[in-house]
């Protein structure tokens, strides 16, 4: 079924497997020319944090160092996200093309795709595509090679600095920031790390021009976005849509008529209750009206038969397990939040405990070392505040 209101786009998945002509053409352009086009497009990272991609490439190109790296982040572990798998299955050539152009811009000879262990079944097929792509690079005269590095089941390794640690044979524990990867990434060398979808978008931008990409979306959120839609929906799946839609519109197209809440951005994102659908816009923080919510693309719908306590409980179990344990606010905080809501539910702790837990989550946002611990408060606060009775009774 096609969405009724929202226009489905077909940029990313458009069947263009022969990327060789565009790769040759783009590699022949000047570095500044390429970077400026990327900056003009307004493309921001699709891995969740939304850093401007053109600027990231420029900073890395300008960073001192002979050794530089391009890494494609295919660790996709955020609950409710499956778009990167789909992109790697259907249009891997575009991702490789984006990596190659980036390599030319920053001066990298080696690139990696960090593929999560859960996607090992994609490996053989992807390797074949890479082998074929290397021939295209040789023809174009770009000395650049791409390797697959397999993850081994750790959500935290999607965090960029944990990912570098993992590739270096260490425990996947995030590093302190700064320095940022653009200065000091894999092997302490300047590194561009981009999400799978981000890289695929760069291909479309080089192919169709920055203007076309900029025309899509709104204000600070340009272009299209691949959404992973799951939960209580008659039409679960992958959808490429324009940025800037209201959640109301989204629910009209994807809900089952009884949608009570939507979790935007996975377990580390926000839960939006029905009364806020109209005011919530999907896009990066910027000059949007109402509340704008950034997202890696995970959209989970819940209907009125679902207990939001169970949803939150499931998320907290996820965080307890996936916390790398390196810093106290996150290691202890996630466990205390989980025990706390269990205690309240069983009636062993008073409902006022929820307020103390909200404070704790806020403290974690301020004191945790990396994005995992910092973002637990997103889902925790948005669920507890909007569905307080469900936490108690």
Partner 1 sequence: MNGLRELVSALAQKHGTRRESLLPILQGIQAHEHYLSDDAMVEVARALDLSTAQVYGTATFYSFLVTRPQGRHVIRLCRTITCVMHGKNQLLKELETLLKVRVGETTADGLFTLLETNCLGQCHQGPAILIDDEPYTRLTPERIRVIVAEYQQKAALESENSGLINS
Tell me which residues touch ligand FMN (CB under 6 A). 45-49, 51, 73, 75-77, 156, 158-160, 193-195, 198, 370-372
Contact 7, 245 (CB under 8 A): no
Contact call for residue 361 and ligand SF4 (CB under 6 A): no
Residue closer to ligand SF4 (CB basis): 74 or 156 = 156
Q: What is the DSSP string of 30-51?
A: -HHHHHHHHHHHT-B-SSSS--
Contact call for residue 89 and partner 1 (CB under 8 A): no
Contact call for residue 166 and ligand SF4 (CB under 6 A): no
Contact 191, 76 (CB under 8 A): no
CA distances from 317 to 36, 313, 333, 342, 379 (A): 44, 6, 12, 11, 13
- Minimal distance in Å, beta carbon 99 to ligand FMN? 12
Contact 195, 88 (CB under 8 A): no
Which runs of E-coded beta strand occur in the chain? Answer: 69-74, 110-115, 145-150, 191-195, 217-218, 221-222, 224-231, 237-242, 259-264, 270-273, 280-282, 291-293, 298-303
- Minimal distance in Å, beta carbon 240 to ligand FMN? 16
Q: Which does 270 bind (CB under 5 to 8 A by kind): partner 1, ligand SF4, ligand FMN, none?
A: none
Contact call for residue 324 and ligand SF4 (CB under 6 A): yes
Contact 3, 253 (CB under 8 A): yes
Strands 298-303 and 259-264: antiparallel
Convert residues 124-153 into a mask of x (bound to partner 1 by CB under 8 A) and - (unbound).
-------------------------xxxxx
Contact call for residue 391 and ligand SF4 (CB under 6 A): no
Contact 146, 112 (CB under 8 A): yes
Task: Write out the binding residues for partner 1, residues 324-343 only, by CB under 8 A.
Answer: 324
Contact call for residue 121 and partner 1 (CB under 8 A): yes
Contact call for residue 321 and partner 1 (CB under 8 A): yes
CA distances from 58 to 31, 100, 104, 105, 389 (A): 9, 15, 12, 8, 49
Contact call for residue 373 and ligand SF4 (CB under 6 A): yes
Looking at 93, 159, 232, 253, which residue binds partner 1 (CB under 8 A)? 232
- Minimal distance in Å, beta carbon 353 to ligand FMN? 27
Contact call for residue 234 and partner 1 (CB under 8 A): no
Give the whole-angstrom CA distance, residue 247 versus residue 227.
13
Residue 141, judged by CB atoms within 10 A of its CB (0-12, 13-18, 19+), counts as exposed
Q: Which does 231 bind (CB under 5 to 8 A by kind): ligand SF4, ligand FMN, partner 1, none?
A: partner 1
- Minimal distance in Å, beta carbon 116 to ligand FMN? 7
Under the rule (CB under 6 A), what is the footprint of ligand SF4?
156, 174, 323-327, 330-331, 368-370, 372-373
Q: Residues interacting with partner 1, by CB under 8 A?
A: 76-82, 84-85, 116-121, 149-155, 166-173, 228-232, 236-238, 267, 300, 306, 310-311, 314-315, 317-318, 321-322, 324
């Amino acid at each position: 079924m096609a969405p009724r209101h929202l226009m489905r786009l077909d940029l990313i998945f458009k069947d263009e497997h022969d990327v060789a002509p565009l790769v040759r053409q783009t590699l022949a352009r000047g570095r500044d020319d390429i970077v400026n086009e990327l900056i003009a497009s307004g493309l921001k990272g699709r891995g969740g944090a939304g850093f401007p991609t053109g600027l990231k490439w420029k900073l890395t190109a300008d960073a001192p160092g002979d050794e530089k790296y391009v890494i494609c982040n295919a660790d996709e572990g955020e609950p409710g996200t499956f778009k990167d798998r789909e992109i790697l299955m259907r249009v891997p050539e575009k991702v490789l093309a984006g990596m190659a152009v980036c390599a030319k811009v920053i001066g990298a000879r080696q690139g990696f795709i960090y593929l999560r262990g859960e996607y090992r079944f994609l490996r053989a097929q992807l390797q074949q595509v890479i082998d074929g792509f290397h021939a295209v690079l040789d023809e174009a005269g770009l000395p650049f090679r791409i390797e697959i590095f397999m993850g081994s089941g750790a959500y935290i390794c999607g965090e960029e600095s944990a990912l570098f640690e993992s590739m270096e044979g260490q425990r996947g524990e995030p590093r302190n920031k700064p320095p940022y990867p653009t200065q000091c990434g894999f092997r302490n060398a300047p590194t561009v790390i981009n999400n799978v979808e981000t890289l695929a978008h760069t291909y479309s931008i080089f192919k169709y021009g920055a203007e076309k990409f900029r025309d899509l979306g709104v204000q600070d959120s340009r272009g299209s976005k691949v959404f992973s839609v799951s939960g209580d929906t008659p039409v679960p799946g992958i959808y490429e849509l324009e940025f800037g839609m209201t959640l109301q519109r989204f629910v009209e197209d994807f809900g089952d008529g009884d949608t009570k809440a939507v979790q935007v951005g996975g377990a580390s994102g926000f839960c939006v209750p029905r009364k806020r659908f109209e005011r919530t816009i999907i896009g990066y923080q910027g000059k949007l009206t109402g509340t704008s919510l950034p997202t890696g693309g995970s959209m989970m719908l819940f209907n009125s038969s679902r207990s939001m306590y169970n949803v939150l409980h499931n998320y907290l179990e996820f965080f307890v397990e996936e916390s790398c344990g390196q810093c106290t606010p996150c290691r202890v905080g996630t466990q205390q939040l989980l025990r706390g809501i269990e205690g309240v539910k069983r009636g062993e702790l008073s409902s006022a405990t929820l307020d103390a837990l909200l404070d704790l989550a806020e403290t974690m946002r301020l004191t945790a070392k990396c994005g995992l611990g910092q973002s637990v408060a997103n889902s925790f606060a948005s669920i507890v505040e909007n569905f307080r009775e469900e936490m108690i009774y």
